[in-house]
Amino acid sequence: MAEIAANLKLIYNKISHAATKRTSEHRYYEPRLVAVSKLHSAELIVSAYEAGQRHFGENYVNELMEKTSNQLILEKCKEIKWHFIGSLQRNKVTKILTVPNLYIIETVNSDKLANALNNSWPRFRKSDDSKLNIMVQVNTSGEKEKHGCDITEVLTLVKHIINNCDNLKFVGLMTIGMYGYDTANGPNPDFLCLIKCREKINDELGIDIKNIELSMGMSTDYEQAIELGSTSVRIGTAIFGNRPQKNTLKEEKN
């Protein structure tokens, strides 16, 4: 547990240091750390929270529901901000929108999913004019098993969200990117691709770059992502250590 605080401290320092290496045009914000707690216990989340961490990321709707109704988390993590970063099926939309402290859904990848979120949000929001924060997930590597929208569809999807989804707030773009890219080969092409997508949105839709976040970078490559302009890095392993297998966690709970 003390280890988590130490890991976080190291990562905060590395993030700050990487942020100083950005070009001047990218220096208008402090990058955010999202602690990816999927498959880790409520106790570990509490220790990260007590070490000052507020933003947490989860991939599975059911697991997120369990965690947000966990007594320990309810008691000790009142200001927690949940990021949903897993693939979201439309039939789970009404479920996920009940999550208290849901901060953002980073994985909107189709107009159908955007519409479903847009139509359901008024039933769940606490104040009449609050919008649901969303990011558009882009499949920058073009790998079939990845869930984001195709790079050729990003502009259309963002346009649809802005023009037709009044209850959603378009916050930015997210990518997972190819696993195991060796940064010795130069800047990660997935990161460069996401930056290009943002430029295109800026050109074509006139949205200021500063109002389009980039969620990119994980445990092994977050420093490089920040140097290139990432505004939000999603880090699991470097904070919490290796994840337990999905079924192991289930057994522990029984």
> Is residue 59 a contact residue for ligand PLP (CB under 6 A)?
yes
Q: Site size for ligand PLP, by CB under 6 A?
A: 12
> Which of 64, 93, 176, 226 is close enough to bind ligand PLP by CB under 6 A?
176
> Is residue 214 a contact residue for ligand PLP (CB under 6 A)?
no
Which residue number has the CB closest to ligand PLP?
236
Residue the block writes with tokens 């994840």: 243
Q: What are phi and psi of 45, to 5 degrees?
A: -65, -45
> Is residue 218 a contact residue for ligand PLP (CB under 6 A)?
yes
Stretch that binds ligand PLP, among 48-56, 116-124, 191-199, 233-241 (CB under 6 A): 233-241
Take residue 49 and report the two structure tokens written for it: 């929270």
> Is residue 237 a contact residue for ligand PLP (CB under 6 A)?
yes
In the bound complex, what is the minimum distance in angstroms from residue 246's beta carbon to ligand PLP? Answer: 12
> Is residue 36 a contact residue for ligand PLP (CB under 6 A)?
yes
> Is residue 226 a contact residue for ligand PLP (CB under 6 A)?
no
> Which of 38, 67, 146, 198 is close enough to bind ligand PLP by CB under 6 A?
38
Take residue 179 and report the two structure tokens written for it: 């696993």
Take residue 67 and report the two structure tokens written for it: 């965690």
> Is residue 40 a contact residue for ligand PLP (CB under 6 A)?
no
> Is residue 236 a contact residue for ligand PLP (CB under 6 A)?
yes
Q: Which residues bind ligand PLP (CB under 6 A)?
A: 36, 38, 59, 85, 176, 218-219, 234-238
